[in-house]
Amino acid sequence: MEPNTQTNIETPKTKSNGALIGSIIIIIILIIGGIYLAQNKIKEAKEQELLEQNLPADNLSTSDELSDIEQDLINNADINALEQGLE
């Protein structure tokens, strides 16, 4: 009888790239999030600038009488800007 011989068959060890792929995905998500936040800040700054430009004049009356409204229009209206907007 032949003695029991164990054959050691070495299986090739495969490298797992799961950690590398996971890290790359996380980095991509962080970059996309950063771009999104940067665009939002730029958008908010532009909206704030437009809001400041469109604030009403401080010298408007609070009356709702027709003569007071006409006087406010005469004193504060920028007719040229209105005409340019219509063209």
Q: Is 15 within a domain? A: no
Helices (H), 7-65: 18-53
Residue at 13 is within a domain: no
Asked if residue 69 is part of any domain, the answer here is yes
Structural domain of 84: 63-87
Number of domains in the chain: 1
In a domain, 1, yes or no: no
Kindly tell me the sign of the dihedral angle through the C-alpha atoms of 70, 73, 75, 79.
Answer: negative
What pLDDT tens digit does each residue of the chain (87 aa) get?
555 556 666 666 667 788 899 999 999 999 999 999 999 999 999 888 877 776 666 667 777 888 888 887 777 766 666 666 666
- pTM, two decimals, is 0.45
Within a domain: residue 67?
Answer: yes
Residue 51 lies in a domain: no
